[in-house]
Amino acid sequence: SLNMLLAALLSCFSIFSNQPAQAQTSLIQNAPARRVLSLNGSWNYIIDPYENGFYDYRREAFDKSASGKGGYYDNQKPSNSQEPELIEYDFDHSAVMQIPGDWNSQDAKLLYYEGTVWFKKDFKLKPTAGKRYFLYFGAINYEAHIYLNGKKLGMHKGGFTPVQLEITDKLSASGDNFVVVKADNTRHAEEVPTINTDWWNYGGITRDVYIAETPATFIVDYKVQLAKNDPANLAGYVQLDGAEKAGQTVTLNIAEAGLKQTLKTDADGRATFRLRAKKLKLWSPLSPKLYAVTLTNGAETVQDKIGFRTIQTQGQDILLNGKSIFLRGISIHDENPLIPGRARGEGDLRMLLTWAKELGCNYVRLAHYPHNEIMLKLADEMGLLVWAEVPVYWTIAWENPTTYQNAEQQLSDLISMGKNRASVMVWSIGNETPLGDARLKFMSRLATKARALDDTRLIAAALELHRTPDNVVHVDDPLGEYLDLASFNEYAGWYWGGKPSEITKYTFDIKYNKPVVISELGGSALAGYHGDAETRWSEEYQEALYINQIKMLSTIKGLRGLTPWILVDFRATRRQHPVYQNGFNRKGLISNTGQKKKAFYVLQEYYRQQAAKYD
């Protein structure tokens, strides 16, 4: 039939195209809640810099050949036949690494490696009739080709958003299965991020892997939040997926709030709602109240814990639940400096947010790409507002339509993943992107997209600025017109030259009558290295830098928050100084061994004072 032809064409497209994420339409909302089988743990791996497991000696991809066979994803073993077989790889006798986990921190050979590594895991799962199964990866950096039992499931690009593939008809009846992943973290100019960044290009399967089980028709997506700027009404939708999605009854129940509503899905399997919810206790950093929310469709129940709050701007104020707030923030990378490597799960993430709380924060910037879904849940629980971001960073290929589609897909997936989290207050569409027409078109389009996907949060980016010889800092980047905040990174006392004591000479000329939230400021110090306030790399220099930054901040009209750069030292290849840096960006307030530097206490004291004023 025409439909089957179309489906076949589409599936070819997902395998052969260079577009990101074609294999997935809608991400399963709260996928961890549907988990039946974790695939975390030991995976065998093969390092394959020449991609011999993917291409034949004429550089033709095995998975595009007529048989589709020949690649490492066959996971071949010698048979017992008479003829000696030539097989030049063997997953089962290859080394293992722990997943989730980047490869750089698990094998010394791979510290600087950029290229292909193959991963293989065996698992037992006997499919139950009438159920559907989805293979789910929290993140794979960067390009992933995924195979189940020797057959290709799809390809995904983007190192920080989930990869989700339906495997219902592909599990073996016997229950013995194997999954193979080709992960390739090679950087390319037209990808997102592009080739040049200031963070380590950690490769591999860096977040949880599991199989989610659902009924044949199931609740694939939902949004349960307060209506835009309206503390008295809930608004949102429930979306079903499957053959029977039309005309179904779905119940939304928030028992603690005495709310129960029966919804009917339309022909597309969607039910939108608006519901009076007068007496809800609203979520805030001071009181991070979460309600148990239950969605029921027949025998299926999905549970979530959701907070409710409004966030809006009014002139230069940011109103949380109608009340002006000051954002006491800090920037954070998705890295555990003690490993050092990508944060591997809840323990690592809780450590980072506990440090932020200790600093006195009510806000964190999760730079410069989507962080783990668990991080957003922890922020909900611990009472931290969140700036969430996509890796549209520096010199993106602005003219390339595929690059735009990729950025938009990553933004959509981020918003999908975070839209039920009360903590998330800002979607950031990028960082320090250079002025130009093509860039403005690209970025304003992203801003419009973000608003269309979610009108209940603020849209921002770290804008460009420029200085004039009179020490005036001008923030007039035209992208600012499209955003809700006047946010920018300022490096007085570090990149701008001069001593920390000279920072106070700068004044700011900000074109926009919007809340000013400084997305970065800071300077480097090697923990334990001491000198005076003019000795670069010393803790005293960084301390003086913070003291004078804070003096200067008080002169900025409309300042409503800041996220200094950065909570902890992190790995970065740009940072080559053999004594002071050693491959680490040292702008952390905490060192890569967990030691607090002097500047930590300066910022902590400032935040104590701000909390006393605003909370």
Compute how many other C-beta atoms are within 10 angstroms of the C-beta atom of residue 151: 13
Instruction: Note the residue count of the chain.
Output: 615
Pick between residue 113 and residue 394 the one whose CB is nearest to ligand GCB.
Answer: 394
Q: How far is the CB of 492 from ligand GCB (least distance, A)?
A: 13
Contacts of ligand GCB in 191-250 (CB under 6 A): 198
Q: Please report where in the chains the tokens 């089957």 appear, as a residue.
A: 4
Query: Using the rule CB under 6 A, is 585 a contact of ligand GCB?
Result: yes
63, 389, 432, 464: residue in contact with ligand GCB (rule CB under 6 A): 432
Query: Using the rule CB under 6 A, is 610 a contact of ligand GCB?
Result: no
Site string for ligand GCB, 497-536 (x = CB under 6 A): -----------------------x----------------
Q: How far is the CB of 431 from ligand GCB (least distance, A)?
A: 5
Site size for ligand GCB (CB under 6 A): 9
Query: Using the rule CB under 6 A, is 490 a contact of ligand GCB?
Result: no
Pick between residue 132 and residue 368 the one whose CB is nearest to ligand GCB.
Answer: 368
Query: Using the rule CB under 6 A, is 565 a contact of ligand GCB?
Result: yes
Yes or no: say if 209 and 138 are a contact pair by the CB < 8 Å rule: yes
Q: How far is the CB of 343 from ligand GCB (least distance, A)?
A: 17
Q: How far is the CB of 489 from ligand GCB (least distance, A)?
A: 4
Q: How far is the CB of 57 from ligand GCB (least distance, A)?
A: 41
Query: Using the rule CB under 6 A, is 592 a contact of ligand GCB?
Result: no
Q: Please report where in the chains the tokens 């996220």 appear, as a residue.
A: 563
Pick between residue 378 and residue 521 the one whose CB is nearest to ligand GCB.
Answer: 521
Provide CB contacts within 8 A for 461, sequence distance 6+.
428, 429, 430, 431, 433, 443, 447, 479, 483, 487
Contacts of ligand GCB in 349-408 (CB under 6 A): 368
Q: How far is the CB of 394 from ligand GCB (least distance, A)?
A: 8
Query: Using the rule CB under 6 A, is 431 a contact of ligand GCB?
Result: yes
Whether the link from the prior residue into 231 is cis, omega within 30° of 0, is: no
Yes or no: say if 412 and 26 are a contact pair by the CB < 8 Å rule: no
Measuring CA to CA, which residue among 16, 222, 13, 31 is closest to residue 137?
31
Pick between residue 480 and residue 523 the one whose CB is nearest to ligand GCB.
Answer: 523
Pick between residue 488 and residue 606 the one whose CB is nearest to ligand GCB.
Answer: 488
Yes or no: say if 225 and 420 are a contact pair by the CB < 8 Å rule: yes
Intra-chain end-to-end CA distance of the chain, in Å: 64
Yes or no: say if 506 and 549 are a contact pair by the CB < 8 Å rule: no
Yes or no: say if 198 and 520 are a contact pair by the CB < 8 Å rule: no
239, 489, 542, 610: residue in contact with ligand GCB (rule CB under 6 A): 489
d(CA 344, CA 366): 16
Site string for ligand GCB, 336-355 (x = CB under 6 A): --------------------
Measuring CA to CA, which residue among 331, 343, 425, 429 is closest to residue 386?
425
Q: Which two tokens stand for residue 393?
A: 């960073």
419, 587, 596, 597: residue in contact with ligand GCB (rule CB under 6 A): 587
Measuring CA to CA, which residue among 440, 514, 527 is closest to residue 483?
514
3-state secondary structure of 534: coil
Q: How far is the CB of 367 from ligand GCB (least distance, A)?
A: 6
Q: How far is the CB of 102 from ligand GCB (least distance, A)?
A: 18
Yes or no: say if 191 and 439 are a contact pair by the CB < 8 Å rule: no
Q: Report which DSSP code applies to 84.
A: P
Provide CB contacts within 8 A for 86, sequence distance 6+.
none
Pick between residue 587 and residue 598 the one whose CB is nearest to ligand GCB.
Answer: 587
DSSP collapsed to 3 states, 403-461: HHHHHHHHHHHHHHHHCCCCCEEEEEEEECCCCCHHHHHHHHHHHHHHHHHCCCCEEEE
d(CA 404, CA 414): 15
Q: How far is the CB of 522 from ligand GCB (least distance, A)?
A: 7
Pick between residue 304 and residue 389 the one whose CB is nearest to ligand GCB.
Answer: 389
Q: How far is the CB of 544 from ligand GCB (least distance, A)?
A: 18
Pick between residue 451 and residue 536 the one whose CB is nearest to ligand GCB.
Answer: 536
Q: Catalog residues that contact ligand GCB under the rule CB under 6 A.
A: 198, 368, 431-432, 489, 520, 565, 585, 587
